[in-house]
């Protein structure tokens, strides 16, 4: 992070440059995570603005401490609405992206080998001891052996001595190897989603610090202000 862009009044955990620290971040991932960076930027800059507003409020000679808190809190609530909306929207976007990439990595394989060869491959794998069967399939995936992978993973798992869960695992391994860019993008959006889920909640505490009082105290001050102002309401005393 650039020191010039860091405000010590705001938690570093909310700084937008954290998004750029996600593993594999480059120009392509930057486009994918643009909304995430924007959401953190909105939060960070919003909290900074509330701190600035609090400082400005303290220079108003007509406002006592309670009035300063109330005015700053009003301003903070406007920023909170923008910030929470931004995080909610980006979470929805990231969730859809994850579902999309997950579906791509679960795409079924179609056999390239002839029908008779595929049958022979599945029988060969089926007759192997369990440990050797898994070693054989893992090696085939690592070596990019599409004929073997498609013969086994493009058919019902029991034909090769597998269960449904192992087939899903090996199919995922194959697709990750065959489409590494999809796997890389999925990893990035998953990391971004975790970052939002783990850090977005910090906004409430950060805004409370900027305002200078917890919500219950602000509420009490508002109620006291309203009650006091009622004494200045003109009453109809008749003619």
Per-residue confidence (pLDDT) for residue 229, from 0 to 100: 86
Go through 76-94 and write b for each residue having 16 or more CB atoms within 10 A of its CB, e for each that does not.
Answer: beebbeebbebbeebbebb
pLDDT at 59: 95
Distance CA 43, CA 82 (A): 8
**Burial (0-12, 13-18, 19+ Cβ within 10 Å), 233:** exposed
CA-to-CA dists, residue 73 to 42, 88, 90, 140, 216, angstroms: 18, 22, 25, 62, 12
Contacts of 41 (CB under 8 A, 6+ apart): 16
E strand or H helix at 98:
helix 65-105
Q: Residue 188: its pLDDT value, please?
A: 97
The confidence score (pLDDT) of residue 62 equals: 92
- Please report where in the chains the tokens 């409370």 appear, as a residue: 208
Asked if 79 contacts 14 with a C-beta cutoff of 8 angstroms, the reply is no
Rounded Cα gap, residues 229 and 235, in angstroms: 13
Query: What tokens does 175 get?
Result: 């697709």
Under-70 pLDDT residues of the chain:
1-4, 111-114, 235-239
DSSP state of 113: S
Check residue 230 and give its pLDDT: 86
Q: Which tokens belong to 16?
A: 């937008």
């Amino acid at each position: 992070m650039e020191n010039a862009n860091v405000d010590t009044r705001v938690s570093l955990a909310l700084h937008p440059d954290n998004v750029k620290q996600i593993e594999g971040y480059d120009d392509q991932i930057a486009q994918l995570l643009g909304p995430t960076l924007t959401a953190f930027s909105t939060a960070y800059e919003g909290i900074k603005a509330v701190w600035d507003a609090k400082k400005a409020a303290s220079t108003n000679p007509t406002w006592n401490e309670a009035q300063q808190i109330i005015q700053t809190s009003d301003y903070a609530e406007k920023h909170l609405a923008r910030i929470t909306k931004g995080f909610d929207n980006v979470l929805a976007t990231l969730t859809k992206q994850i579902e999309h990439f997950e579906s791509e990595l679960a795409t079924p394989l179609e056999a390239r080998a002839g029908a008779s060869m595929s049958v022979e491959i599945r029988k060969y794998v089926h007759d192997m001891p369990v440990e050797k069967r898994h070693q054989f399939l893992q090696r085939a995936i690592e070596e990019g052996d599409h004929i073997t992978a498609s013969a086994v993973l493009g058919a019902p798992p029991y034909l090769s001595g597998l269960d449904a869960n192992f087939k899903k695992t090996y199919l995922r391994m194959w697709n990750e190897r065959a489409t590494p860019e999809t796997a890389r993008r999925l990893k990035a959006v998953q990391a971004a989603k975790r970052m939002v889920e783990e850090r977005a909640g910090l906004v409430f505490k950060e805004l409370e610090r900027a305002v200078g009082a917890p919500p219950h105290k602000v509420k009490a001050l508002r109620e006291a202000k309203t009650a006091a102002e009622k004494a200045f309401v003109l009453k109809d005393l008749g003619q």
